[in-house]
Homo-oligomer: A and B are copies of this chain.
Amino acid sequence: MRMQITDTAIDTRALQDQLADHRAGALVTFEGWIRNHNEGRDVTALEYEVYKPLAISEGEAIIQSVTTEIDVIDALAVHREGYLDLGGCAVWVGVISAHRDEAFRACRRIIDDIKVRLPIWKKEFYVDGDSGWVNCERCAAHGHEHHHHHRS
């Protein structure tokens, strides 16, 4: 399985070891980290909700599609679910190829697609005690919001 969802810390070293291949001349990795601010608010922590069956199948489809289209050797991706502190690794993508251009392009494509296609939601917790689902401001059509929502 090239797309994984985990509720424990992502072990990037173990993932890189899985990608070791003597045909590969390039490894490009992306890590998404929990940063201390988003859209002007101070963030203290984050919780990811993941619908695993479809997150995995969509992720596999993305990796299959990108690695078919771009000449790479292999690719892996892992996304966290659950609660993460500041600095925590939320997502990791690694791609190996013979030459670096393909690994850079494929890694970028995979993380871009993961962010828009996988059924994953994040709730941010703020310094002021408030919290909110990211990206949900467009859903506030009825004005009966109980949560803070904002663009991210």
The answer to whether A25 has its CB under 8 Å from any CB of chain B is: yes
How long is the Cα–Cα vector from A2 to B60 in the complex, in angstroms? Answer: 36
The answer to whether A31 has its CB under 8 Å from any CB of chain B is: yes
A28/B26 in contact, CB under 8 A: no
Q: Give the most central of A31, A86, A107: most B CB within 10 Å.
A: A31
The answer to whether A5 has its CB under 8 Å from any CB of chain B is: no
Chain A interfacial residues counted at CB < 8 A: 30
Q: Per-residue CB proximity of A66-81 to B under 8 Å, as 1/0?
A: 0000000000000000
Which residue of chain B has the shortest Cβ distance to A111 in the bound complex? B100
Q: Name the B residues within 8 Å of A98 (CB-CB).
A: 35
Known contacts A24-B35, A25-B35; 6 additional CB pairs below 8 A are A20-B87, A28-B30, A28-B31, A29-B31, A30-B103, A104-B104
